[in-house]
Chain A
Amino acid sequence: MSKVEFNKETGPREVFCGLTSIVWLHRRMPDAFFLVVGSRTCAHLIQSAAGVMIFAEPRFGTAILEEKDLAGLADAHEELDRVVNDLIARRPEIKTLFLVGSCPSEVIKLDLATVAEKLNKRFLGQVRFVNYSGSGIETTFTQGEDGALKALIPLMDSSDEEKLLLVGTLANNVEDRFKKIFRNLGISNIESFPPRQSIELPKIGKNTKVLLTQPYLSDTVRDLKHRGCEIISAPFPLGIEGSTEWFLAAAKAFKISEFKVHEIISPLINRAKLALESHKEILKGKRLFLLPESQLEISLARFLHNECEMVLVEVGTPYLNKDLMKEEINLLPDNTKIVEGQHVEKQLDRVRESNPDLVVCGMGLANPLEAEGISTKWSIEMVFSPIHGIDQAADLAGLFSKPLKRNQILTTKTLVTH
């Protein structure tokens, strides 16, 4: 492990909770509905994070707890039953219904597991019910996906068939690219989790080799291990380097030669390097400060330093699983400052002191920092854009070069005076 500086910080945080991941999960599985059992705050949070994405009736909603639900839990269970019945009557095409726990439902100890069990019996053969918690007292942002996937694992049948299982939500086009490359490498049995249809869950077992596409899936990984799956240790497929190592690790697990991998991906690498050049020109030598939010921060820092030559001031992450991030941390430059957790005020003090060229942060902080003259990139865009793989390396770099480029354009054109 490289000599990385680990720090922990506690205090007020400025991050989303796990409910936010519903915004991309419901798009990945169009036959699923996510029903948050929570408060008006939960409903308002998801719709605010989703912005104007509600162009049709959304496949997520909130069963809003009211005063009478808090008075007696028995009534709350009955009420939830009623809401679910109404919902299924309205949306008969739904195949899987996720009951998503929230801060208030966790605090009043609403037992969603029991509710799901009962509903499963009643709607047997029609709708499946699973439950997980996306509450902010337990999860941060992307951890919601970890919870949702973990909840699906018990529904996955066993099979000893050898296969490569890609775990973590990917954009569909990126997933297709990956599958094509793996097939070219000679791996033919490839599946994804989560699948594109919630009822087409992959079968898993001792010959399932799991390759993670996202770094925030600690609980899912643990349960997949329990089911006998082999976890391939690799950095994450962000940027050319990460993606190359990722393909190599998969190939090794399937006893495919390194030579073969290089043969297949070198044209892609050459093409990607060329595409990366113009972004690198802008990013080179620029100082980067990542605030914690998506857990992608360490992989992004590695990419932006190693391939785009940015200077890392501080790499924040809401939560650090050193085991899962081992390969990533090995690739970081010496003396990288990693800060797990957050004290948002102190961290912003450090941002101002270090005066970086670019800050990666949440939407609540972006405009205030811009107003102070600091360029920003919203972290939420990383989970909505196709950024994985060699072919997307330049697009990923583009997310960071764009604010800097824009800043240059605006500065030269508006501030030059006579």
Chain B
Amino acid sequence: MELTLWTYEGPPHVGAMRIASSMKDIHYVLHAPQGDTYADLLFTMIERRGQRPPVTYTTFQARDLGGDTAELVKKNIKEAVERFKPKTLLVGESCTAELIQDQPGALAKGMGFDMPIVNLELPAYSKKENWGASETFYQLTRTLLKEKVSYSEKISPLRWKEFGRRPKVNILGPSLLGFRCRDDVIEIQRILSEQGIDTNVVAPLGASPDDIERLIDAEINICLYPEIAEASCEWLKRNFGMEYTNTIPIGIKNTIEFINEVHKKLDLPLTNKKELENKSKLPWYSKSVDSNYLTGKRVFIFGDGTHAIAAAKIAKEELGFEVVGLGTYSREMARQVRATAKELNVEALITNNYLEVEDAMKKASPELVLGTQMERHSAKRLGIPCSVISTPMHVQDVPARYSPQMGWEGANVIFDDWVHPLMMGLEEHLIDMFKHDFEFVDGHQSHLGHTATNTKDILNSDEKKENNPKTGIIWTESGRAELTKVPFFVRGKVKTNTEKYAILRGIPEISDETLYDAKAYFS
């Protein structure tokens, strides 16, 4: 039993709903009690979908349990098939139905329909949403393509040359309730198309069962979101020999690396390498003098595996930040996140508990948080600017405007979204210069207006807490005065470090000089 106050991922059948709702001509009969219908609002409210998810819930009640719930399942399947006429039917159960073992998938298969039926067994007491989405997409792909395995030749990534046409690829993994998938797909298609590569199928987002059957018309698969698509890509590789890409094109370096990888796999010469470096404004914006102040900004990162890893690399290599924390709630990606964390010399945080994440955030005293909607709440409480980089998300993370995370435009979006919550360079410089003028209004922190901390509050609360009763350390007037001159967002850190230093050296009173001694000691 695990005490959970808030969960990053839903149950696995919500993952299945993400696949069903992303696609066309699919219907999902879910053996589940009435309360489980809440999941519809994830799609209609967060994604603002104008259609109901294609899901029929059997909504069995306690009084049905004594009778024949299997009949109820069959009745619902029959009605759903007649009403929605799906080309493929998904059948599964949620946590409660799993306990009563009606085996709805087997029931459906015995009903004499001629459409393909996918029996989804998603263990609700051990697995979670992303796994459920991945498993559903895999089972669906397998069901629709397994008959073609035996007579299909291994697909060579080079066969486009024989066919005398442009190479074709599938883009796999984008789904509803994924982070910015809608726009990433457009961006990636645009990039591929510029390179003379056609998109065969995008799935699951917008695909029909017919499209899934056409997957093998492409040469290779682009595994855009491994959390959702890796299992399917792996199956297609094993059974049809289709190669798939490993690089996630988030950030400039990874986008270029991604284009290289695709070209290499297809044996397509890359002719515009130089041009690629100027496709996004991120490199120049990052290099321009105003961005000098970004150097060494402390950033704390938490999210799904793919987005957290990509964010860490961009933060360090493309924006010159210092990554002071990196973690994920995706246990499936723990190994990769740990490896990235090791490269960055931080310890990876692998947890489902948002309070642990908040604690780690507090300890790392970052100047910017990149996280999920929950880290946005935590960062707000701590008065730290935050940008959302990963699911789970809120309605405001589904913007009306085009705002991908991937590719060239994605890099532009990332630059703006991460840097705007911070103070702008010149502005920060000026505030620093003029902050002792009497005209200067405390709390004049431009973009940080929304964060809770007002400089005055910090000073006041600092004054109250300054003399640390636990350690017996006393702050002298000069020490206190010097501390107020430290920019508010690092003041907490400076204070802790100075006290640490004082204890270390057995200094009972902290003066302005102690502050500078500590600064020198820790730098």
Interfacial residues, chain A to chain B (CB-CB below 8 A): 11-20, 38-45, 47-49, 52, 54-58, 60-67, 69-70, 76, 79-80, 82-83, 86-87, 103-104, 106-108, 135-138, 140, 345, 362-368, 370-372
Q: List 29 A-B contacts (CB under 8 A).
A: A12-B59, A16-B35, A17-B35, A39-B11, A40-B4, A40-B7, A41-B35, A41-B96, A44-B7, A44-B10, A44-B38, A47-B7, A54-B377, A56-B381, A67-B123, A79-B1, A82-B1, A103-B95, A104-B95, A107-B65, A136-B35, A136-B59, A136-B96, A138-B62, A365-B40, A367-B48, A367-B49, A368-B49, A368-B51
Would A368 and B11 be within 8 Å (CB), given that A48-B38, A52-B394, A55-B381 are in contact?
no
Known: A41-B10, A104-B95, A368-B51. A345 touches B41 (CB 8 A): no
Contact status B83-A345, CB under 8 Å: yes
A367 to B, closest residue via Cβ: B44
Chain B 198-210, CB within 8 Å of chain A: the 1/0 string?
Answer: 0000000000000
Evaluate whether A64 and B1 lie within 8 angstroms (CB atoms) in the complex, with A48-B41, A368-B51, A371-B51 already known: yes
- Which residues of the partner chain B approach A79 to less than 8 Å between Cβ atoms? 1
Sample of 7 more A-B contacts, CB < 8 Å, known A16-B38, A63-B2? A12-B59, A13-B34, A40-B10, A57-B5, A76-B1, A364-B38, A368-B51
Known contacts A67-B123, A367-B50: does B61 contact A137 (CB below 8 Å)? yes
- 8 closest A-B pairs by CB: A17-B35, A371-B50, A364-B40, A136-B35, A79-B1, A39-B95, A103-B96, A136-B33
**Contact pick for B37, options A15, A47, A104, A137, CB 8 Å:** A15
Q: Given A41-B10, A41-B95, A58-B5, does the pair A17, B51 have CB atoms closer than 8 Å?
A: no
Q: Size band of the B side of the interface?
A: 35 or more
**B52 close to A (CB within 8 Å):** yes
Report whether A70 and B125 are in contact in the complex, using a CB–CB cutoff of 8 Å.
yes
Which residues on A sit within 8 Å (CB–CB) of B95?
A: 38-41, 103-104
Identify which of A64, A76, A136 contacts B36 (C-beta below 8 A).
A136
Q: Which residues on B sit within 8 Å (CB–CB) of A13?
A: 34, 37, 57, 59
Chain A residue with Cβ nearest B33: A136
Total number of residue pairs linking A and B with CB closer than 8 Å: 193
Q: Are B62 and A106 in contact (CB under 8 A)?
A: yes
B67-87 residues with Cβ-Cβ distance < 8 A to A are: 76, 79, 83
A345 to B134, CA, bound (A): 29
Contact of A104 among B9, B57, B96 (CB under 8 A): B96
Residues of B within 8 A of A80 (CB): 1
Q: Is the CB of A15 within 8 A of B96?
A: no
Least distance between A115 CB and chain B CB atoms (Å): 12
Per-residue A-contact encoding for B120-152, CB less than 8 Å = 1, 0 else: 000111101000000000000000000000000
- Whole-angstrom CA separation of A221 from B110 in the bound complex: 47
The B206-228 residues at the A interface (CB cut-off 8 A) are none
CB neighbours (8 Å) of A55 from chain B are: 377, 380-381
From B52, which residue of chain A is reached at the shortest CB distance?
A: A368
Q: A60 contacts which chain B residues (CB < 8 A)?
A: 5
Give the docked Cα–Cα distance between A17 and B35 (Å): 4
Q: Which residues of A contact B83 (CB under 8 A)?
A: 345
Distance from A143 Cβ to chain B, minimum over Cβ atoms (Å) = 11
Contact A40/B1 with A48-B41, A107-B100 known, Cβ cut-off 8 Å: no
Q: Identify the closest chain A residue to B45 (Cβ).
A: A363
A44 touches B5 (CB 8 A): no
For window 457-516 of chain B, which residues contact chain A by CB distance below 8 Å?
none
B391 beta carbon closer than 8 Å to chain A: no
Give the CA-CA distance A63 to B76 in the complex, in Å.
Answer: 31
- Decide if B6 touches A47 in the complex (CB within 8 Å): yes
Chain A: CB-nearest residue to B37: A14
Q: How far, in whole Å, are A11 and B60 apart by their CA atoms in the complex?
A: 9
| Least CB distance, A59 to chain B, in whole angstroms | 9
Chain B stretch 1-29: residues in CB contact (< 8 A) with chain A: 1-7, 9-11, 13-14
